[in-house]
Each structure stands twice: as C-alpha cells, then as structure tokens.
Amino acid sequence: MVSVDLGAGAGRPGGGLLVAGTTSDAGKSVVTAGICRWLARRGVRVAPFKAQNMSLNSYVTRDGAEIGRAQAMQAAAAGVEPSALMNPVLLKPGGDRTSQVVLMGRAVGEMSARGYFGRRSGAGPVRYGRREELLETVAGCLEELRSTHDAVICEGAGSPAEINLRHSDIVNMGLARACRLPVVVVGDIDRGGVFASLFGTTALLAEEDQELLAGYLVNKFRGDVSLLEPGLEMLRQLTGRPTLGVLPFRHGLGIDEEDGLRLSLRGGPGAGGGERAEGGAGEPYGAEVLRIAVLPVPLMSNFTDVDALAAEPGVLVRFTDRPQELADADLVVVPGTRGTVRALAWLRERGLAAALARRAAEGRPVLGICGGYQLLGERIEDDVESRAGLVDGLGLLPVRVRFAPEKTLARPAGRALGEDVEGYEIHHGVAEVLGGEPFMTDAAGAALDGCRAGAVRGTHWHGSLESDGFRRAFLRTVAAETGRAFVPAPGTCFAALREAQLETLGDLIEEHADTAALLRLIEEGAPKGLPFVGPGAP
C-alpha cells in the first residue's frame, strides 16, 4: 500500500481527480463510486462531485435540495451525506429541446439547449455570460468540498471531446482546466473500438486540455487480460499515456445510473420487451413467482424505484409498452415522469390506458408513483409543466391534481400496510384526494400522501419500496389480490444489497487499477510534459 499525504488537514485544499469517458454510459458513474469507496476504506475523507448532470433520476438531500441520484449513490460509496455542493447544476429534460435547470438544488426555470449552451456562428462562439457564471459557481462548490475533504473525485459528462460544445463546457475539460484537475478517461470495451475511442478522444482535445489527460481506464472487459496488453502498450506509445487499469465486467452494477440507459437490459422498448430478474435475486421463497410490468412512460423519472422490487427473490420485473403483456402481470407499475400529460397521451395511443382500466375493473393491482400516481386520477390542471390546462386523467383514483409553480421537495416518513416507510418527494403536482383510502399515513392513521381505491394505489413517495418491511407487506398484498402463492423472503435487506454493490465497486478499483498511480494523480496532479497528440481541437 502506498502512503500518500491526502490531507486537507495539512492546511491546504484536498486533492482531486476527474473521471471522464469516451461516451455516455462508459462507466463514469460507477468508476467514480468505486474510487470513492476504495479511498474511504483507506480512511481518506472523500467526496464525489459532478458539476453538471443531465438526468431524470434525482434525489432529495436531507436539507431539501435536488441532485442527481448518481451523486447520492457516490456519496454513499464515500460514506458522506449527499449535498447540493456535489451536483450544483442538474438539467432535467422536459422534451427534445428544453430542460428544467436546477441550480444548487432548486429549480430556476426552463431553458432550451441553444439558450443554455449558447450558439456558434462563423465568427466563433456567441457568449451569453452563462458559461462564465456557471463555471464560477461549480468551481466554487468544488473548492468548498476540497476545503473540507482530503480528496474530491469528479465525474465528467458524455465525452470531453464534444468539440461543438467545448466553448460552453463546465463539466469536463472546462472544469479540469479551471481547477487544474488531472483527468482519467474511461473507455467501454464491451461496445468495441475502445482503442480508437481512447486515442480519438485524446486527439480531439486542445493542447492545454491534453496537458491534464494523464491516463486511461478500460471498463467492462471480458476474457484474458494478457491478450489486451499489446494493444495497451501500443496505445501508450501512440499517446504517451498509460492505461491505469482494466476493470472486468460484472453483472448487476448498474446502480442509480442516469435516465433510460439501462432499459435495453431490462427489456425496455429499445429491446422489444422481455423479462429479466434484476440483481440475481434467485429462486422464489414461496411456491410461485410474482410478475411485475413497468410502463416505460415518456420522460420517465426515477425508474430506480422498482430496483427494490427486482431485488426480491422470485420477483420478475420487466419494462413493456405492450397492452397484451399487462394481462399476465401480477402488478403493473406506472413510474414517475417529467411529462405527466404527455405520458397520459402516450398511454392512450398505445392502448395501455384501456388495459389499466380493465385491470382496475377486475380488481388487479396497479401502483402509480409520483407522475404515475397523478395520471391515475380524475383530472389534471397543468399550467406549469405542459401548459395544457385541464386534462382528463385515467379516472382510476378519486384524485385531482393541480400543478404548482413551486416544486415540492421533501423527505417524508410515515406508515403504510402496518409498516414504517420512508421516501422522498420531487413534484410540481399537488393532489386533492376526494375519496378512497389514504395510502401513507402518520402513526395515528391520519393521511399523509397517496390514495387507494380497490387494487389501485398511488403515492408521490419515491424510494418508498426501499423500506424492507413495507415492501414485503406490499408484495404480500399483491400476492393475495392476485391469488399467487408468493411469499416474500424474510431476510432481504435492500440497503445491505446496495452496500454490497458499492463494496464490489471498491474491490474492482483496488484489485484491477493502478492504485499507486491514482493516488499520485489525486495528490500531485497530472505529470508535467505529457505529449501532444495531433491534430488537437479545431
């Protein structure tokens, strides 16, 4: 073990490292989490950081700030409480061209991509001042974290070689250059072309940016590493930079990643349907399995809500947009969405609304979460999100929803089905419950959130299914309502499963990366004299 002085306690800011990637979904999030866990095991006070995140999977911190779920997961890996400092800018897409901008944990408005990133003309970039203002904010957050931690591990976004966006970059090389961060680039070998991706990423960076790019990590490798080594040596000769690790492929490590990138693995619309038990949950504890269908609604948010269901032995979770596949499901989940009215139209166009109505009439379970809960109601008044005004809901719950300009951000706790339950709320819609039974209550039985009518239930509480006792009680209820001989396993602890995943990420770094080199980069920065690889940025 190499001893390196990573000490904010030494009277100076802590060290830092930026984990960039050749593409989206190269593995930046999990590599960052793995480095955080490995450092935390060494007793290093480490924090994660992502300057700008584009994701519909978000989380609420204890002080009521909204950040990306990936940064909350990385904070757990580091053993620290998540905060808005770790993700100062969050962009939540609301369509093909607009996003809600969340700054320091609070929504500040909608903006088009052109308005946010600026535009280019033949004379070069047209600057609006926004990039400079945001870079000052994110750099300040990073420095505040470095003043209280021994090390900060930063995650980039997309690719650092997006040459059309370099002038507005605050999350990749723009941040690295502003804060003098050494950079390691992750390449996903499972996609193929990893050498071309790593070389091409380097060669499209400006000389000043290349001075900070110190090495590479190859991710998701399957097979004999010795067969890869000649290529790694040739890459070093071509770029003057070493590969600091070859991380083997591991199943079940896609935890709290961004948006719908994992849906093809789960049988989402991109994969033509299908069924897959997540997390290797194993054989059912009782006599039968429980089949759960999740509707991949447009602008789906926090689809991680169903991860806890998939972790149960004997529970099979699938994403499907086919009405006929709802017929044999024991439970249908309508997840959250950033476009409730748009999701309603989508359900109706595909015949899914009619399929849900049939389920409700037959007394078969349906669960709506956040936006999914809202669209199960009687009507929606939306002058905020879609600006569609009054819209009829599916009418499966006696609930009316009005969208408020201010977003509700909360970390509620209560009781449901005789068990303690916790969650977090992120929504503009305010529900008026006109009948049925409350779903979430306080200890005295007073309504806190949600509604139940027959076998249809809805709640605004994301993450509620991570409460083990409540999840088991809910699955027992679903089994009883469908006549399934399913019994939830008594010992499944979702928090322990997540912790085991984070430990595995730490193991991957400790066992398969050049940890001595990583420590030197974090402490000392990029080495001097790294060669320039042409042609460089245009």
Tell me which residue of 189, 198, 202, 201 sits closest to 246, measured CA to CA.
189
Which distant-in-sequence residues (6+ apart) come within 8 Å of 342 by Cβ? Answer: 298, 299, 386
Handedness of CA 454, 456, 461, 465 (dihedral sign): positive
Distance in angstroms (rounded) separating the CA atoms of residues 18 and 38? 16
Residue 370 annotated in active site: yes
The answer to whether the beta carbons of residues 341 and 370 sit under 8 Å apart is: no
Listing DSSP states for 12-62 in one string gives S--EEEEEEESSTTSSHHHHHHHHHHHHHHTT--EEEE-SEEE-S-EEE-T
Diameter over CA atoms, the chain: 71
Query: Of 149, 428, 460, 462, which is the active-site residue?
Result: 462
Across 423-525, the runs of DSSP E, i.e. the strands, are 425-433, 440-441, 447-449, 451-453, 456-459
Specify the pairing of strand 336-337 against strand 379-382.
unpaired
Measured CA distances, 326 to 273, 292, 300, 313, 347 (Å): 12, 9, 18, 21, 13
Specify the pairing of strand 456-459 against strand 451-453.
antiparallel
Q: Which two tokens stand for residue 510?
A: 């400790």
Residue 167 annotated in active site: no
Which distant-in-sequence residues (6+ apart) come within 8 Å of 455 by Cβ? Answer: 359, 360, 363, 364, 365, 366, 481
Distance in angstroms (rounded) separating the CA atoms of residues 34 and 21? 15
Q: Is the peptide bond before 535 cis (omega within 30 degrees of 0)?
A: yes
Burial class (CB in 10 A: 0-12, 13-18, 19+), 274: middle
Query: Of 36, 154, 370, 451, which is the active-site residue?
Result: 370
Q: Which two tokens stand for residue 12?
A: 């100076």
Residues forming the active site: 370, 462
